[in-house]
Amino acid sequence: MTITKLFINQHIKNFPETFSIQSRLNVPVEVVNESREVFDYILSAKDPIQEGKQTLYLTRNNGAFFKKCPGTRCYTCCDYKILHIGTFCHMDCTYCILQSYFHPPVLQYFVNHADLLAELRDVFAKKKIYRIGTGEFTDSMIWELWTDLSKLLVTAFSEQEYTVLELKTKTTAIEELYALPHNRKTIVAWSLNTNQMIKKEERHTASLSARLKAAAKCASWGYPLAFHFDPMVIYEGCEKDYKHVVHQLFAQVDPDKIVWISLGTLRFMLSLKGIIQKRFPNSRIIYGEFIAGLDGKMRYFKPLRIDLYRKMVAWIRDLAPDVLIYFCMEDDEIWNESLGFIPSEYGGLPQMLDTRAVKHCGLNPDGLIRK
């Protein structure tokens, strides 16, 4: 990643993490009294989103690190939990919701790690199974070049038996994971897409082959894996391309190493459409057959989603019959038409995923009891 400017909030300028990051970045530094100074700098740029991707702001998280995933009651939610380590991303996917989610979009990293670890200790003490990810408001691994975040988190999670960490990425920044005592309590996950989508719509991300090679390497280090085909995009020839991705995946990775695979098709808020049109005028992904969903997001017509989902499920099942497949934010009709069952038949999607984590990550099954 290319950082051209570093802002440091005065309240954390003497934190050890701040000194460590500053020493690894040879860029102009400015200490600010409040976040508004950084926001004004970003907003004054011709392209604030692009400026936000190359301007790093070190600050503290004044709220909670441990959060609920902002799902919607209209669709089946997996009860995922978020570890809020920072915001935004230096990669530049056309469809990225973060372009319109943050106002303005700022690449900020929270350095008050003592508070983060204190919250995690409270979570671990509950002795209840949680699936926690850092990839909701950012990519989990973009910070690896100049922070020790993976060492901090993987080590902390390895020392307990009720909670699993998922690091979700489109990068290959995995080398720092090699020697860590993970104890299978960290799942390393990749977002996957077709070569055409990666080339045209996922700028500055790792290639498909590079992602799969990195996944195979993590598996050889004993890490459980996960994969997310999300967002899947419908275009001419997409079925052949997605089938090829599935075959490439299982040519590189043993299905027994995979905890789960999620599927989801392109969906976007109307506010994002204008941003994509302005920043990526050559992109055609927003001009498909869409309709407003129950959550207000634009989605492909349900029959189109079901058709693609059915085929993806069949291709995966053919090569990995025992891998858990689930849908990200879809309703019971989609589940029944595409997978032949609805989550409530198996105790609900959270229970399905928790049970899978017990099996593959060695979590204590006592934590399955939900109160």
Does the pLDDT value for residue 306 go beyond 50?
Answer: yes
Assess if CATH 3.80.30.30 describes domain 66-101+113-368: yes
Give bridge partners of residue 232 from the DSSP assignment: 265
Does the pLDDT value for residue 371 go beyond 70?
Answer: no
Q: Residue 145's pLDDT is what?
A: 87
Per-residue pLDDT tens digits for 254-263: 999 999 999 9
What Rg, from alpha-carbon coordinates, does the chain have? 20
> What is the Cα–Cα distance from 205 to 174, expressed in whole angstroms?
14
> What is the Cα–Cα distance from 65 to 84, expressed in whole angstroms?
5
Does the pLDDT value for residue 344 go beyond 60?
Answer: yes
- Residues 6 or more apart from 273 whose CB is under 8 A from it? 286, 298
Q: Residue 1's pLDDT is what?
A: 66
Report which of residues 104 and 350 the model is more confident about.
350
The CA-based dihedral angle spanning residues 326, 327, 330, 333, taken in that order and rounded to the nearest 10 degrees: -50
Extents of the domains making up the chain: 66-101+113-368
Q: Which of 98-107, 154-163, 249-258, 297-306 has the lowest mean pLDDT?
A: 98-107
> What is the Cα–Cα distance from 239 to 312, expressed in whole angstroms?
8
Q: Residue 329's pLDDT is what?
A: 87
Task: State mean pLDDT over 52-77.
Answer: 88
Per-residue pLDDT tens digits for 108-128: 999 999 999 999 999 999 999
Q: Which of 54-63, 77-86, 311-320 has the lowest mean pLDDT?
A: 77-86
Q: Quick one: pLDDT band at residue 104, thresholds 50, 70, 90?
A: confident
Q: Residue 77's pLDDT is what?
A: 80
Task: Work out the end-to-end distance of the chain between its first and last CA atoms, rounded to an integer number of angstroms.
Answer: 43
Percent of the chain with pLDDT over 90: 89
Please state, rounded to an integer, the average pLDDT across all residues of the chain.
95
226 phi, psi to nearest 5 deg? -145, 155
Q: Quick one: pLDDT band at residue 370, thresholds 50, 70, 90?
A: low
Task: State mean pLDDT over 340-363.
Answer: 96
**Residue 60 identity:** R
Per-residue pLDDT tens digits for 200-236: 999 999 999 999 999 999 999 999 999 999 999 999 9
Task: State mean pLDDT over 140-159.
Answer: 96
Task: State mean pLDDT over 52-68.
Answer: 95
> What is the Cα–Cα distance from 362 to 148, expressed in whole angstroms?
25
Tokens representing 187 are 């799942």
Task: State mean pLDDT over 16-43.
Answer: 95
Give bridge partners of residue 260 from the DSSP assignment: 226, 324
Report which of residues 171 and 328 the model is more confident about.
171
Tokens representing 120 are 């995690």
123 phi, psi to nearest 5 deg? -65, -45
> What is the Cα–Cα distance from 70 to 147, expressed in whole angstroms?
27
Query: The tokens 């926690």 sit on which residue?
Result: 132
Q: In what order do the strands lie in the sheet with 55-59?
A: 29-32, 5-9, 55-59, 107-110, 86-87
> What is the Cα–Cα distance from 54 to 69, expressed in whole angstroms?
26
